Structure 1
Amino acid sequence: MRKALIVWGGWDGHEPEQVANIFRDVLEQQQFEVEVSDTLEAFSNREKLLELDLIVPVWTMGEISNELVDNVLAAVQSGVGIAGCHGGMCDSFRANVNWQFMTGGQWVAHPGNDGVEYKVNMKYSSGMLFEGIEDFEVKSEQYYLHIDPAVEVLATTTFPIADGPHATNRTVEMPVVWTKRWGAGRVFYNSLGHHADIVTIPQVQEMMRRGFLWAADGKQVAEQQDHVHDKSTAYNGMADSNY
């Protein structure tokens, strides 16, 4: 059975406990063994993190030590997946640039605040991860993020909708969902999820379900690649000795 760790906390406005419970239910339905923690000390045991298949952060703002972040980064680099949403992953620790480097983006604004009506536009150039999910409307915060150019975009939204100083710039397409890699690990992020009711929108919950599975699958893929590499190295060594 695959193992997942959900760590929730930080700013209560994002309803982290409720969101963590929703994610736990989704993962348990996919036959994961799920541990849920409400303390960042859950990241203190590096060896335990390395045994996981998936890490799900649900923690907005706050501070974290470099040691704890380094443990998470090392686990993901080894092949453990990480997947999350909204401020629970890409506005977790504003002062820690290493966290931002791994996750692929950082929230900077939500013009119009909560209640903006906007469209989520699906992109299919990234493969079939979101096959069958059509464009949809949502009424929530519309996240404006600073984005790592390395991310692979799966869904976008268009700015500006709400008025503000940003509106004098040209129209921009802002990523809503993306994937990226961190070493052998897979990273999945969805900017939707301001409150628990947004997470339970059918399209959003299905996107998260698929994102969890995709991120968690990366560990097995990495292990298989390592196995093939080890066999190849051993074969080449035998060939060299025979030569």
Structure 2
Amino acid sequence: MTMTRKKALIVWGGWDGHQPREVAAIFAELLRGEQFDVTVSDTLDCYKDAELMADLDLIVPVWTMGTIEREQLQPLLDMVHAGCGIAGCHGGMGDSFRNEVEYQHMVGGQWVAHPGNDGVRYDVNMAAADDPLTSGIGDFEVCSEQYYMHVDPAIKVHATTDFDGVKMPVVWTKRWGQGKVYYNSLGHQADIVNMPQMRELMRRGFLWAARSRA
């Protein structure tokens, strides 16, 4: 029996400091390695392409800050609510479109601060040894931005960091209607996204979030 390949859309842009083009390339490589058909776009107008959107199993946003028009945003929200997965990291998903509270509701959180900026050394701690999204990866150290997030209490937390005595979520999942949402606050630039632990976390997150064709 021939298996239908899943389809993913990566949308990159916004603030250049997060190296969205380079991060999008890493994510495209990961997804193609998992036999996804991948479309990469550098315009938010792709969300208005009804034919493209209708066939997707996974959307991967890599777009920090910026603005999005209602006719671009609404199809994204609707597609995820109807069952298409969404997965991303750092500001490319957790600090997009700061005025769009419905987008933030879908994601499950929003970046608000990173005291010390880039170069902070901190540990990322897995929440449970038997969690299939994190098992075998183990705790690890990062030298990067440490994100302080405002988060939805409905999220399921898979990894955390100690933020001045606060157990701050780093990796979480949630549902938006029928769609699965995966977020990872790591990934300031491509070198962090390329860390073995981060690549594996994102690979598992992509596979978990993608719409099931079973």
1:189 to 146, 159, 183: 183
- Match 1:60 to one of 39, 45, 64: 64
**Unpaired runs of at least 5, structure 2:** none
CA deviation vs aligned residue, 1:108-157 (integer Å, no higher than 9, x gap): 00011000000000012883221111000000000001001110000000
Within the candidate set 42, 47, 53, 1:43 is matched to 47
Secondary structure of 1:55's counterpart equals strand
- Cα offsets for 1:69-103 (capped at 9, x unmatched): 11011111111000000000010110100110000
Cα deviations by residue, 1:138-178 (Å, 9 ceiling, x for unpaired): 00000001001110000000112xxxxxxxxxx21100000
Q: Distance in 1 between matches of 2:161 and 2:67?
A: 29
Matched, 1:152 2:156: yes
| 1:198 pairs with 2:202 | no
Shift of 1:26: 0.4
How many positions carry a matched residue from both structures?
210
| 2: CA distance, partners of 1:200 / 1:127 | 22
TM-score, scaled relative to structure 1: 0.84
Paired amino acid for 1:214: W
Residues in 1 aligned to 2:129 and 2:138: alpha-carbon distance in whole angstroms: 14
CA distance in 1, matches of 2:25, 2:142: 22
Residues 99 and 116 of structure 1: CA distance in aligned 2, closer, same or farther (over 3 Å): same
The 1:184–1:125 alpha-carbon spacing in structure 2 relative to 1, beyond 3 Å, is farther
Task: Decide whether the 8 Å contact of 1:46 with 1:75 is kept in 2.
Answer: no
Richer in helix (by share): 1
Whether the 8 Å CA contact 2:123–2:161 is kept in 1: the answer is yes
- Larger radius of gyration, structure 1 or 2? 1
Other-structure match for 1:118 = 122
Return the match for 1:176 from 170, 188, 193. Answer: 170
Instruction: Measure how far apart 1:219 and its partner are.
Output: 3.6
**Matched ranges for 1:1-243 at <5 A:** 1-124=5-128, 127-160=131-164, 171-216=165-210, 218-220=211-213
Gaps of 5+ in 1: 161-170, 225-243
Question: By how many angstroms is 1:43 displaced?
Answer: 0.6
Question: In percent, how many aligned pairs have the same letter?
Answer: 63
